Protein backbone atom coordinates (compact mmCIF):
# COMPACT_ATOMS: atom_id res chain seq x y z
CA UNK A 1 0.00 0.00 0.00
CA UNK A 2 1.37 3.45 -0.96
CA UNK A 3 1.37 6.13 1.74
CA UNK A 4 -0.39 9.13 0.16
CA UNK A 5 -0.12 12.52 1.89
CA UNK A 6 -3.55 13.59 0.62
CA UNK A 7 -6.64 11.46 0.19
CA UNK A 8 -8.79 12.65 -2.67
CA UNK A 9 -10.79 10.22 -4.75
CA UNK A 10 -12.44 10.91 -8.10
CA UNK A 11 -14.96 8.30 -9.21
CA UNK A 12 -16.23 8.28 -12.79
CA UNK A 13 -19.05 5.98 -13.92
CA UNK A 14 -20.11 5.82 -17.55
CA UNK A 15 -23.31 4.33 -18.97
CA UNK A 16 -22.83 4.12 -22.74
CA UNK A 17 -25.80 2.88 -24.73
CA UNK A 18 -27.52 1.68 -21.56
CA UNK A 19 -31.13 2.45 -20.79
CA UNK A 20 -31.48 4.04 -17.38
CA UNK A 21 -34.91 3.99 -15.73
CA UNK A 22 -35.78 6.08 -12.69
CA UNK A 23 -38.32 5.16 -9.99
CA UNK A 24 -41.11 6.90 -11.96
CA UNK A 25 -40.49 4.81 -15.09
CA UNK A 26 -38.78 7.58 -17.10
CA UNK A 27 -36.02 6.24 -19.34
CA UNK A 28 -32.81 7.73 -20.66
CA UNK A 29 -31.01 5.98 -23.49
CA UNK A 30 -28.18 8.43 -24.09
CA UNK A 31 -24.60 8.13 -22.96
CA UNK A 32 -24.39 9.43 -19.41
CA UNK A 33 -21.34 10.10 -17.23
CA UNK A 34 -21.52 10.62 -13.46
CA UNK A 35 -18.49 12.11 -11.73
CA UNK A 36 -18.23 12.10 -7.95
CA UNK A 37 -15.47 13.56 -5.78
CA UNK A 38 -14.61 12.48 -2.23
CA UNK A 39 -12.19 14.02 0.28
CA UNK A 40 -11.14 12.17 3.41
CA UNK A 41 -12.71 13.45 6.62
CA UNK A 42 -9.52 12.58 8.53
CA UNK A 43 -7.23 15.42 9.67
CA UNK A 44 -4.08 15.46 7.52
CA UNK A 45 -0.96 16.69 9.40
CA UNK A 46 2.08 18.14 7.60
CA UNK A 47 5.44 19.14 9.15
CA UNK A 48 7.60 21.92 7.68
CA UNK A 49 10.70 23.88 8.65
CA UNK A 50 12.48 26.82 7.03
CA UNK A 51 15.87 25.23 7.87
CA UNK A 52 16.75 21.65 6.88
CA UNK A 53 20.59 21.58 6.98
CA UNK A 54 23.21 23.23 9.21
CA UNK A 55 20.46 24.50 11.52
CA UNK A 56 21.14 26.18 14.83
CA UNK A 57 19.12 25.19 17.89
CA UNK A 58 16.44 25.82 18.91
CA UNK A 59 14.68 24.78 15.69
CA UNK A 60 11.29 26.10 14.68
CA UNK A 61 8.91 23.57 13.13
CA UNK A 62 5.37 24.13 11.88
CA UNK A 63 2.80 21.36 12.22
CA UNK A 64 -0.25 22.11 10.06
CA UNK A 65 -3.52 20.17 9.92
CA UNK A 66 -6.01 20.12 7.06
CA UNK A 67 -8.74 21.03 9.55
CA UNK A 68 -8.95 21.77 13.29
CA UNK A 69 -8.13 19.01 15.75
CA UNK A 70 -8.69 18.54 19.48
CA UNK A 71 -6.45 17.69 22.42
CA UNK A 72 -3.09 18.07 20.66
CA UNK A 73 -0.04 18.11 22.93
CA UNK A 74 3.61 17.97 21.91
CA UNK A 75 4.10 14.60 23.67
CA UNK A 76 2.03 13.00 20.87
CA UNK A 77 4.92 13.61 18.44
CA UNK A 78 7.51 10.95 17.73
CA UNK A 79 10.91 12.68 17.99
CA UNK A 80 14.34 11.06 17.62
CA UNK A 81 17.28 13.09 18.87
CA UNK A 82 15.35 16.12 20.09
CA UNK A 83 13.01 17.59 22.66
CA UNK A 84 10.15 20.05 22.33
CA UNK A 85 11.03 23.12 24.40
CA UNK A 86 8.04 25.27 23.38
CA UNK A 87 4.76 25.21 21.48
CA UNK A 88 2.38 27.92 20.26
CA UNK A 89 -1.08 27.16 18.84
CA UNK A 90 -1.59 29.38 15.80
CA UNK A 91 -4.98 31.03 15.35
CA UNK A 92 -6.37 30.22 11.89
CA UNK A 93 -7.27 33.83 10.95
CA UNK A 94 -7.07 33.44 7.18
CA UNK A 95 -8.40 29.87 6.99
CA UNK A 96 -10.63 28.72 9.88
CA UNK A 97 -10.88 25.28 8.25
CA UNK A 98 -7.24 24.48 9.15
CA UNK A 99 -5.01 24.60 12.23
CA UNK A 100 -1.27 24.99 12.87
CA UNK A 101 1.19 24.75 15.73
CA UNK A 102 4.62 26.36 15.98
CA UNK A 103 7.05 24.04 17.79
CA UNK A 104 10.54 24.77 19.10
CA UNK A 105 12.97 21.85 19.35
CA UNK A 106 16.41 21.44 20.87
CA UNK A 107 18.81 18.50 20.52
CA UNK A 108 18.47 15.82 23.17
CA UNK A 109 22.25 15.88 23.81
CA UNK A 110 25.03 18.23 22.62
CA UNK A 111 26.26 15.54 20.21
CA UNK A 112 23.03 15.00 18.25
CA UNK A 113 23.47 15.86 14.57
CA UNK A 114 20.01 14.96 13.19
CA UNK A 115 16.51 15.34 14.59
CA UNK A 116 13.68 13.28 13.07
CA UNK A 117 10.09 14.22 13.87
CA UNK A 118 6.73 12.77 12.82
CA UNK A 119 3.16 12.63 14.11
CA UNK A 120 1.93 9.01 14.27
CA UNK A 121 -1.52 8.09 12.97
CA UNK A 122 -4.58 8.09 15.23
CA UNK A 123 -3.13 10.12 18.13
CA UNK A 124 -5.53 13.08 17.91
CA UNK A 125 -9.05 13.67 16.58
CA UNK A 126 -11.16 16.38 15.03
CA UNK A 127 -14.51 17.53 16.44
CA UNK A 128 -16.28 14.67 14.58
CA UNK A 129 -14.07 12.02 16.19
CA UNK A 130 -12.01 11.25 13.06
CA UNK A 131 -8.40 10.30 13.88
CA UNK A 132 -5.49 11.94 12.08
CA UNK A 133 -3.47 10.13 9.44
CA UNK A 134 0.33 9.81 9.87
CA UNK A 135 2.32 12.94 9.00
CA UNK A 136 5.39 13.19 6.84
CA UNK A 137 8.75 12.67 8.58
CA UNK A 138 10.87 15.78 8.90
CA UNK A 139 14.63 15.15 9.16
CA UNK A 140 16.73 18.17 10.14
CA UNK A 141 20.54 18.29 10.25
CA UNK A 142 21.99 20.44 13.01
CA UNK A 143 25.13 22.55 12.97
CA UNK A 144 27.29 21.27 15.82
CA UNK A 145 29.44 23.74 17.70
CA UNK A 146 31.99 21.98 19.89
CA UNK A 147 33.77 23.97 22.60
**3-state DSSP call for residue 76?**
helix
pTM of the predicted model as reported, rounded to 2 decimal places: 0.70
pLDDT over threshold 90, residue 37: no
**pLDDT tens sequence across 78-123:** 999 999 999 999 866 666 677 899 999 999 988 888 999 999 999 9
Per-residue DSSP letters for 2-63?
---SS-EEEEEEEESSPPEE-TTS-EE-S-EEEEEEEE--S--EEEE-S--SSBPSSEEEEE
Amino acid sequence: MTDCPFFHFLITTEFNGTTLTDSCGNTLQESVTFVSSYNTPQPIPFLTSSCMTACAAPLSITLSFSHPIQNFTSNLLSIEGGLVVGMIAMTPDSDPSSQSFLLYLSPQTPFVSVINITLPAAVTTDHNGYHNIRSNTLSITLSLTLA
